[in-house]
Amino acid sequence: MISFCATELEKKEDKKVSVEVDETIELFDDIKSSGNTTGIANFQLRSNFIIITGDFKSPIKVSCDRCTKYYELNLEFKIDEVVEVSDEPYPSGDVEFVSDEINEQIRSDEQIGLEDYIRQYIILNVPTKKICSENCVNEELNDFNEKSGGIDPRWEQLIKYKDKIKGE
């Protein structure tokens, strides 16, 4: 996978590198990669920060929340990250946390891997409600409702209210 460190970027005249990405990213059991993630990644060194930006497309397979069947989802997302470069030794022992210091910090000779950032952004861009189509129906639930004599009578008032709202 693609990685850079600050010392490599310092050697470049404009302290920038653009890289074309076309790789398969390993994900998790419930989110599967169904093709290569493609895009352009930009690394830029500004004083003691590496700025990582890029536009990416990634096809994934996710499980529908209604019918549990897997379906293809094409994600498009942008990466915009800042990593601080510091050769000061990492503090040992207890350290006070300051909310302004949320940046990731690396040493100037330490590699920044792009794969972890892409994986994080894929996960962040998966919709919270994953439905394969608007007409998706859970057949097992419908069969269960039919066998059990329809809808539980305790839900009747709620169904009437829902129908009333739809009619307005």
Per-residue pLDDT of the chain (168 residues; tens, 9 = 90+): 677 677 788 888 888 888 899 988 888 777 888 899 999 999 999 888 889 999 999 999 999 988 888 999 999 999 999 988 888 776 677 767 666 655 678 888 888 888 999 999 999 999 999 998 888 877 776 676 677 766 677 888 888 888 888 876
- DSSP category for residue 27: -
pLDDT score, position 127: 92
pLDDT score, position 167: 78
Return the domain boundaries, the chain: 3-135, 138-168
Q: Count CA within 13 A, CB hemisphere, residue 78.
A: 2
Residue 56: how many CB atoms within 10 A of its CB?
Answer: 22
